[in-house]
Amino acid sequence: MRADPSDYELVAPGSLATVVSLLGQSPGEWLPIAGGTDLMVVYAAGRLSVRKLVSLWNLPELRRIEAGADDVRIGAASTYTDLQQNEIVQNEFPLLVATARCTGGIANQNRGTLGGNIVNASPAADSLPALLVYDAALILISARGERRVAYNDFHTGYKKTLLAQDELVREIVLSRRYSRYSSYFRKVGARNAQAIAKVCVAALARLDAGIVSDIRLAAGSVAPIPLRLKLTEEVVGGKTIDKALIEQARQAAINEIRPIDDVRSTSRYRSAVLGNLVVEFLEKLAGEKSARLAHWNRLPAKDAAHEVLDCCGSGMWARLLASRRPFADEASLIAASDEIWNALQPPDWKEAFAKHPRIGEKNAPASASPQSAAWSSQEQKRSQSPDSQVRAELAEANREYEARFGRIFIVFATGKSATEMLEILRDRMQNDEESELRVSVEEQRKITNLRLRKWLDK
């Protein structure tokens, strides 16, 4: 049975404060409506039980997209078109743009809102997995005040949320720390456009030195609520991507979901597709490193040597490594680097040593590039001791080392504290010149390998 418009009342107060007051006076009596792209489907089918509607359309407080130093705040009534056209969202939150582009047709994107998609709480909604992996927070408002909730906790069951009857979602808060992550979104439906997802997956990940340092996976249409795949993330996080890990991730993802049979698909199909999408993302992630290596393989020799010079600091090492191209993978690159480095002469080794800052000091030498200086800062992060006595002892030990050996002290500093490195430095002061040079060469080799992996992951 179709709805009769005369059975419904629609008011448009024109200000957010008035809307909030109205909801507070009669909780549950008024239903907010913004774009109406979901609500009007229910209305047209005669299934809209609430008879009083209050419009949120064009309230400026709900339509803003504002960027701060650490986060971006998206008004709940921002449309999918707003998301696609905002420069910061385009550059830093590509998953939201991707989901906005595949939500309905152009008319739906012009009217449908992000807040409406959240509150409608469909487990098949396209944008919700993206919000999960971005660790979104929601600002909820009512006449009683406002509260902030983690979006991950917002959905409590099928079509159920933490939103009280007198509350609205005012804005969605997204941290600006994911701009350098690799992103992935896939929606599988009956058609390429204007179709409800059978399965959709949103994912973010970051590789550091070949290791998955952070990964975030979420899926829609595979459980009563949009689902963060945390167990699958635990399987992958902290590991190097290989075929065995990819297969473990596929099985973990399949075991983590609760799909159903319905008019759009079957449980078995959804499980198979989800597993395939997780595999596709991990292969893409691993392939990004391969793509960088392939690009480097094609560069002119001079440019290729310049690209990797930050990883070691020796011009001879960089030129010889560039001359060995092409490399098939990271392992063959590292192996060639080790062979070349160990066969160099002392002047080449000392050229690389000279590009490092002293242990415990922040400033790299003027000869170091900005990238090399940044990596040195990362590697020595734990050596910046707040203890003035330790800092003074390190400075004195550095001077003694340089007076004895005529060069800077080199150590693989990653993960080591200032106290640990001071002990290593004092112990190595007992070496003779030849032994200490060989130890320094080995420490630089380890630093170079770490930086080559970081360079591939950039």
Query: Which tens digit of pLDDT belongs to each residue from 203-213?
Result: 999 887 778 99
pLDDT on residue 333: 93
The pLDDT of 321-336, averaged and rounded, is: 90
Q: Is the pLDDT score of 443 beyond 90?
A: yes
pLDDT tens per residue across span 278-303:
999 999 888 877 788 888 999 999 99
pLDDT on residue 382: 66
Distance CA 344, CA 437 (A): 12
pLDDT on residue 413: 86
pLDDT on residue 418: 84
Q: Is the pLDDT score of 131 beyond 60?
A: yes
- pLDDT confidence of 254, banded at 50, 70, 90? very high
The pLDDT of 296-313, averaged and rounded, is: 93
pLDDT tens per residue across span 163-176:
999 999 999 999 99
pLDDT tens per residue across span 194-205:
678 899 999 999
pLDDT tens per residue across span 217-243:
999 999 999 999 999 999 999 998 989
pLDDT tens per residue across span 405-417:
999 999 998 878 8
pLDDT on residue 424: 93
- pLDDT confidence of 313, banded at 50, 70, 90? very high
pLDDT on residue 1: 56
Lowest-pLDDT range of 8-12, 47-51, 248-252, 275-279: 47-51
Distance CA 232, CA 257 (A): 10
> Comparing 389 with 363, which gets the higher pLDDT?
389
> Comparing 8 with 18, which gets the higher pLDDT?
18
Of 390, 381, 394, give the one whose Cα is nearest residue 426.
Answer: 394
State the average pLDDT for the chain: 90
Distance CA 19, CA 59 (A): 10
Q: Is the pLDDT score of 127 beyond 70?
A: yes
**Looking at this protein, which amino acid is placed at residue 66?**
E
pLDDT on residue 357: 86
Has this prediction a pTM greater than 0.75? Answer: no
- pLDDT confidence of 133, banded at 50, 70, 90? very high
Domains along the chain?
Answer: 5-175 (3.30.465.10), 184-293 (3.30.390.50), 299-457 (1.10.3330.10)
The pLDDT of 28-40, averaged and rounded, is: 86
Q: Is the pLDDT score of 189 beyond 90?
A: no
Lowest-pLDDT range of 107-116, 135-144, 250-259: 107-116
Lowest-pLDDT range of 13-22, 89-98, 231-240, 383-392: 383-392
The pLDDT of 346-371, averaged and rounded, is: 82
pLDDT tens per residue across span 83-92:
999 989 988 9
Q: What percent of the chain has pLDDT over 70?
A: 96
Q: Is the pLDDT score of 343 beyond 60?
A: yes
pLDDT on residue 114: 95
